[in-house]
Amino acid sequence: MPGIPFSDFGVQWFKDIVNKIGEWFNAEITAGYEALKQGFFGTPLPNGSGTDLIFSAPAPDDKPWYDIYESVVAGDIMILALVILFLAVQGRHFVRIFDFSSPYEARRTRRTAWTGAVLIVAWYWVAVLLLYFVDAFTIALVPSLSELGAAMVDLMPSAVSNPGLTAIMAFLGALSMLALKALYFIREVLLYVYLYTMPLGIAVAFGNVPVVSDIARRLCRQFIPLAVLPLPATLLFRGYGLIFVDNSVVEPKSEFLQYFVVISLPIIALFVTWKTFQYASPLTATALRRGTQAAATAGSVAGIGYVGGQRAALTTARYGTMAGAMQAATEQGDQQQPGSGGTKHDNTANGGNGGGGGVPNYRRTGNDPN
C-alpha cells in the first residue's frame, strides 16, 4: 500500500474547513435576503391611520407610545421642561442686575424662550408628523423587498472557484447584513429616547445657558438625520431593484461577478447607513467603533501573549498588532538559538588584577605573543 503524505490530509482538512465556513456565511446571506420585508426600513409609529395617528392619544395597550404621550403631553416631562426653561430665563434676568449680561442677550433670551415653550408643548405632534412623512417616503421609494431578495438569492452561486475567496466574500456580506439589522435596531431605540426626552433638551437649548445650550442644540438637531436614516439605503435598494429585478439591464456573466453583486448590496447599504448614522448620532457611533476596536485589540493581546509571552502582549496593547507580532517573532527567535558555553572574549580577565588567569584587559590581542 503506497504511503500518503500527511500534508495532503492537512490540505484537504483546510479546504473542508474553508468550504464549511463559506457555507455558513452563504446561509446567513440567503436567510437575510429571504427575511427582507417591507418593514425592514420601517419607522416606528403609533397605531392608527390618517389624522388619528398624529393628533389622537394612543391606546393604553399601544406601548411605549401611550407612556410617551402621557409624559410628553401635559405630563411630568412637559412640566419639568417648562420649569427648566422658566428658570433659565429668570436666571438671565437675575444676572442682568449685576451687569453680567447685555440687554441684547436678555431680549434674545425672551424671544427664544417663547419659541422653546411652543416647541415643548407641540413636540409630540411635531415628532410624530415628521416620522409619519419619513415612513410615507420610505414606503413610496422602497421596492418590493421580497422580489429583490428572491432575485439576489437566485443570482448568488453556491461558491466561487476559489474557496478562500468565497469564504472572505461571504464573511463580508453576512457581517454587513447583520450590522445593517443592528443599526436599524439601535435607530429605533434612539428614536424612542429622543421622543421621550426631547422636551428637556429643547428647554436647555432655548434657555440660552452658556456652553450647555450649545451642546443641547447640537444634540437636538441630530434627531432629524436619525429620523431620515432609512432614505439613503432605500434609494440604493430601489436602484438594485430597477437593474436586477425589473429590467435586468446588467447581467453578470462569471460566478465571481454574480457573487460580488449579491454581497455588494448589504456592504454599500451598510456604508451609506453608517455614514448617515455617524452624522445623526456621533457619540453612539464613536462608542460602537471604540468597542469593536477594543474587542479586536483584546483578542490580539490574548493570542499574541499566548504565543510570544508577556512582553509581546504588552507591545500589542501599546503599539498595535503588527508591533506585537514582530515582538513575538523576536522572542521566539531568541528562544530557539542554541546556548553556548562562552563567547569569543572568554580569554579576557574579569578583574583588572588578572585574577581570572586570562589576558589583562588593557592588552591588545595583536600584541599577544601566543
Beta bridge partners, 49, equal none
147-163 pLDDT tens trace: 888 888 777 776 566 66
Kind plus residue range of the DSSP H or E element containing 101: none
- pLDDT band for position 222 (50/70/90)? confident
CA 195: distance to chain centroid? 23
Rounded Cα distance, 121 and 124, in Å:
8
Of 302 and 280, the structure prediction assigns the larger pLDDT to: 280
Residue 102 has a pLDDT of 66
339 burial level (CB within 10 Å; 0-12, 13-18, 19+)? exposed
- pLDDT band for position 130 (50/70/90)? very high
Residue 345 has a pLDDT of 46
Contact 46, 65 (CB under 8 A): yes
For the cut 50, the answer to whether the pLDDT of residue 341 exceeds it is no
Residue 79 has a pLDDT of 92
Q: Report the percentage of the chain scoring pLDDT > 70.
A: 62
Of the candidate ranges 136-140, 141-145, 209-213, 280-284, the one whose mean pLDDT is the lowest? 280-284
If you average pLDDT over every residue of the chain, what do you get?
74
With b for 16 or more beta-carbon neighbours within 10 A and e for fewer, the 266-293 pattern comes to bbbbbebbbebbeebbeebbeebeeeee
Q: What angle do CA 7, 8, 11 make, to 5 degrees?
A: 85
2 burial level (CB within 10 Å; 0-12, 13-18, 19+)? exposed
User: Which among 79, 82, 109 has a CA at the least distance from the CA of 94?
Assistant: 109
Rounded Cα distance, 357 and 301, in Å:
49
Q: Residue ranges of the alpha helices (H) in 99-162? A: 103-141, 145-155
User: What average pLDDT does range 93-104 have in this prediction?
Assistant: 66
Rounded Cα distance, 205 and 73, in Å:
19
Which amino acid appears at position 180 of this protein?
Answer: L
Rounded Cα distance, 303 and 297, in Å:
10
Helix (H, G, I), strand (E, B) or coil at 348: strand
Contact 195, 73 (CB under 8 A): no
168-219 pLDDT tens trace: 877 888 888 888 888 888 889 999 999 999 999 999 888 887 788 888 888 8
DSSP string, 178-224: HHHHHHHHHHHHHHHHHHHHHHHHHHHHTTT-TTHHHHHHHHHHTHH
Phi and psi at 110, nearest 5°, equal: -65, -45
13-68 pLDDT tens trace: 666 676 677 677 777 777 777 777 766 788 889 988 878 888 888 888 888 899 99
Residue 249: partners with Cβ closer than 8 Å, 6 or more residues away = 242, 243
